[in-house]
Structure 1
Amino acid sequence: MYWTEIVGFVAGFGTTFAAVPDLIAMFRRQSSQGMNPTMAAIMGCFQIVWVYYGTLIASRPVIAWNMVAVVINFLTVGAYFYFAHREGKRA
């Protein structure tokens, strides 16, 4: 593994897991209150583009972290709609 890949993995870790605290907070509260799924949905969509870009340039860090981030962001969107439905909100 090259030094640049190590830096990429470290940077990817930080940006990928930046969304996790919101997801955890939503599960702890069992509520969608204060959450807006739009940003997570937009980020998830563009991270799919990043995964494609990573395959074009053969960058393992770009591919790996953005695949994880796609899952986290779409889990956030799914959790929002699940809790909003339970709360009787129109989402």
Structure 2
Amino acid sequence: MRKILLAAAATFIIAAGTQAHAQPDPNGPPPPPEMRHHRDDTPPPPPPPPHWRHSHDQWQRHVEQCSERYRSYNPRTDRYVYRRGHTAICRL
């Protein structure tokens, strides 16, 4: 009798859990990875810092390259964190 009650309780818990997960997401499904970021949707980079001596087009390419290479890159300062508490100017 005890095994039957445990089996019934387990079945109830599993059924309740699957129903909770079966609820539709109010925001809808997430977009596929290739559609999450479009080049047209990205805002332009901030203006170059005072030490930048090249053209604005080169600045945009520079920001893209540094952002791809360094996760901690900050385009406002043109710096990235290479060790906790230490930053360096991106030279790409």
Give the TM-score range, shorter chain: under 0.3
Higher relative contact order, chain-length normalized (CA < 8 Å, sep 6+): 1
TM-score of the aligned structures, taking structure 1 as reference length:
0.24
State the TM-score, normalized to the length of structure 2: 0.24
Structure (1/2) with the larger helix percentage: 1
The structure richer in strand per residue is 2
- Bigger radius of gyration, 1 or 2? 2
